[in-house]
Structure 1
C-alpha cells in the first residue's frame, strides 16, 4: 500500500513546469561561479523562493541563501543544495556550455539548485497537503569544504528554526532513473595536507653547493605511496593523492623550496590520524636524509567530515523513494571515497548532531551509458564521465526525478 507521503509527492509533482526548470538549469550551467562568489546564483534562488512565498535571507556565510515557509504545526525539515562550480575548463560541447573561461559546473551543483528550486515551488504550491515548517538552503563553497561551516558560524540556526531533519542529494554517474541510498557511512572524510620542503638554492651548474628540494620532493612523492599500501590495514579504506607539486622559476636555478599538496580520503578518524602522523614522519625522514637545512612544514588544510546517514532517517527516505519510483530504482552504492560538507550542517555546536539523509541521483545520458563497457552496474559507472570531469554532463531527464525525490523526502515528515 502506498503511503500518504508518496501519494502526495506524486500529486504535487505531476505537473512540474519542466520547460522553465530546464531553462533554469541551462542558465545556471552557462554561468558557473566559484566558491563564495555565487552572487548571481544566490540572487536568482532567493528571487524564486520569495516569489513562491518563502521568507528569504541572503548573504549567510558569504553568499548563502535560506527560504523559510511556516505552514502550521509539524516537524521542521531542511532541504539543502550547494551552489558553487569548479576551476575546470568545460569540454562537453553542449550548446549551453559554461561561458566563464576555466570555470565549469563539473560536479552538478547547477542541477542541485534546479532541483531545490523546483521542490520549493511544488511544496509551496501544495501547502494545503502538508503541515509543518520547510527550510530550503542554498549553500556556498561546498567544493572548498568551507560553505556549510561558514553558514553555521554566521548564525544559520539563529535565522531559521533548528530543523528536526536535514535532507540532501547529489547528482552522480549512472543510468538515469536510479537512486543510491545507504544507511550509515555513505561518503568519506577528506583532509588536505601541504608539505613545504626547505632546501638551499643555487645555480644549476653547481649542485654540490645546494640542497635540492626538488629531488627530496620527488622521493617524498614516491615514499608517500607506501602509507596506504604498507601502513593502512587491508580491511580499511583510504586514498592518498599527490595533487600538486610546485618548485622553481627557471631550468637553470635550483630552488630553495618545494611544495607538495596532498589529499587524504578516509572512513575513520583513527585511520586519518595515523596517515597524518605517517606523512609527518616520512617528510621529516626524507628531509633529514637529504641534509635539508630546516625541517619540513606539514600543514593540515581544508577538511570535510564523513557523511554518515542516520539509520532511521535513511529507512524513512529510502522507503518513500521505493514507493514513488519502484523498489528496483533504489540501490546501495556502497560507501564512496568522495566527500561532502553537508554533514557540517548537522553539527550544531553544543547541542549535538541532527539526523540527516544524503543520497545520489544518477544522471548519465542514455547514449553515453549505452556505450560504456563493464560487466556490472558499478563497473559501468566507473567507465562514464564522473563528477569533476570536464566531460561531466547530467541528462536533463533527471530534472523531474530530482525534484520528486526532494519533495517525497520532505513529505515523508510533513504528511502524517
Structure 2
C-alpha cells in the first residue's frame, strides 16, 4: 500500500472516535427494535435520515424498504457498499440489557419473537458510520460512493427486489460492490476467500399426503408423520452415499410440520429442507434424489396421493472476483496486520449478495465479500472456538470491538477501490 493511501486512511479514520458514540447508540437502538425481512420500515427511515445528514442524495423505498445513498465526489469509480437490515424470527437469549423483546404476528397470525441474531444491526450501523467517515474525508478520495441498505436478505428477497426496482438503472451501475458479514471468529479479525466464497442455497418443501384417523385406530390411517420420519432419515444418505467426497453439499431438514392434536393422526406432513452447494450439477443431483426418495416413501406407505416437491426460495453462490478481492485483502492486511487478516476456506452459508455479482443470473458487478470477527477474543480462546454463531439465540457480538473493527474495515475496503483526488 502506498504512503499516500495509508495517509488518507489515517486522515479519515482519525474521526472514528468522534462518531463512534452515535454509531454505538444506533446499534443498540437497532438491536432493541429488530424488524423482519421486507418490513424494515423503522430501520430504513433511520438509515435514510443519517445519510441525508451526511450529505448523500437519498432515495428510500427501493425494492420495498431499501435505501440508496449517493455521494458524488468528482470523476472516478463508483463503489457500492451494501449492508442488510433485516432480523430473524428468533427469540434472543443473550441476557443483554438491550436484548430484543419484540414480538410480531406472522402471516399466519401467530405471535413470534424477532431478534438480530445474525449481526445485520452491526452491518447497518457500520454502513452508516462508514458513509459518514467517507463524507467527512471526501477531500482524500474521488469517485461516487453508493450506499445500499438492503432489506430481506434472510428470505433471499431483498437484492432481487432492489434490482427489479432499478437499482442499477435508476442509479449508477457500480464498478465494484463490497460487503462484510459478522462471523463468530474473534473480534478484531477479518477473513476472506477468493472465488466462490458462499454456497448456493435452495430451500425445498416436500408435502406428503396420507389418510387421517383417530389416534386410537392407526389401522384406519396412512400416517404421514411416519412417512416424514422415515424420509428424514433416508435423506441423510444423499450426501454420504451419492455425492463424491470431494464435493461440498449440505442437506438439512429444518422443519417438520404436521398435525394439530395428540390423538389425531393427520393427513398431511411437510418437510422444509435447506440445500447448500457450490455447483449446479450437484444441486440437480440432490434435488432428483430427494424427489425420488419422497415418491418411493409415499409408494411404500401406500399413500393415496403422490408427494409434492417444490423449490420455495433460492440463491446462487456468492463469487469474489480476483482483482477487487486481492486489493481489498492487501489493504486490510496492511492496515490491521497479517495476524488479523486470513484467507479461509469457502463457507457453506448463503447470501443474496450473489445477485449483484458474477453468480449465474447476477448483475455482473465485480465484487468482494469478507467476514468480520465479532466474538470476545478472551471468550473465544477460553471456549476454544466453541461459541455461538449466527442464527443462534445466544449470538453476542463484542459491541465496541466489533463496531470499531467493522467501521475501519469497510472504510479501508472502500478506499482500496475509490480513486484519488
**TM-score (norm: length of structure 1):** 0.95
Asked whether 1:400 is paired with 2:404, we answer yes
- Map 1:312-391; keep pairs closer than 5 Å: 312-346=323-357, 353-373=364-384, 380=385, 383-391=386-394
Shift of 1:201: 1.3
Q: Is the 8 A contact 1:10 1:404 kept in 2?
A: no
Question: In 2, Cα distance between the equivalents of 1:84 and 1:169?
Answer: 15
Change (3 A) 1:166 1:262: same
Q: Is the 8 A contact 1:132 1:414 kept in 2?
A: yes
Question: In 2, Cα distance between the equivalents of 1:53 and 1:197?
Answer: 55
Question: In 2, Cα distance between the equivalents of 1:202 and 1:5?
Answer: 73
Q: Give the match for residue 88 of structure 2.
A: 86
Change (3 A) 1:91 1:351: closer
Question: In 1, Cα distance between the equivalents of 2:184 and 2:67?
Answer: 27
Shift of 1:212: 1.2
Asked whether 1:189 is paired with 2:200, we answer yes
Which of 71, 74, 91 lines up with 1:72 in the alignment? 74
SS in 2 for 1:86: coil
Change (3 A) 1:349 1:174: closer
Question: In 1, Cα distance between the equivalents of 2:300 and 2:255?
Answer: 23
Shift of 1:351: 9.0
Q: CA RMSD in A?
A: 1.6
SS in 1 for 2:271: strand
Change (3 A) 1:409 1:199: same
- Map 1:232-271; keep pairs closer than 5 Å: 232-271=243-282
1:242-297: CA deviations, max 9, x gaps? 11111112222221111111111111111111100001000011101111111100
Shift of 1:221: 0.5
In structure 2, runs of 5+ residues without a counterpart are: 104-112
Q: Is the 8 A contact 1:152 1:348 kept in 2?
A: no
Question: In 2, Cα distance between the equivalents of 1:183 and 1:111?
Answer: 23
Question: In 1, Cα distance between the equivalents of 2:125 and 2:60?
Answer: 18
- Map 1:111-150; keep pairs closer than 5 Å: 111-150=122-161
Which of 266, 269, 277 lines up with 2:288 in the alignment? 277
SS in 1 for 2:188: coil
SS in 1 for 2:339: helix
1:292-327: CA deviations, max 9, x gaps? 111100010111211110011100110111111112
Segment of structure 1 superposing worse, 13-22 or 76-85: 13-22
Q: Give the match for residue 413 of structure 2.
A: 409
Residues paired across the two proteins, number: 408
In structure 1, runs of 5+ residues without a counterpart are: 374-379
SS in 2 for 1:393: coil
Question: In 1, Cα distance between the equivalents of 2:360 and 2:252?
Answer: 31
Shift of 1:341: 0.8
Question: In 1, Cα distance between the equivalents of 2:232 and 2:377?
Answer: 40
SS in 2 for 1:250: coil
Question: In 2, Cα distance between the equivalents of 1:367 and 1:32?
Answer: 28
Change (3 A) 1:59 1:79: same
Runs of 4+ in 1 over 6 A off after TM superposition: 347-351
Question: In 2, Cα distance between the equivalents of 1:209 and 1:35?
Answer: 43
Q: Give the match for residue 7 of structure 1.
A: 7
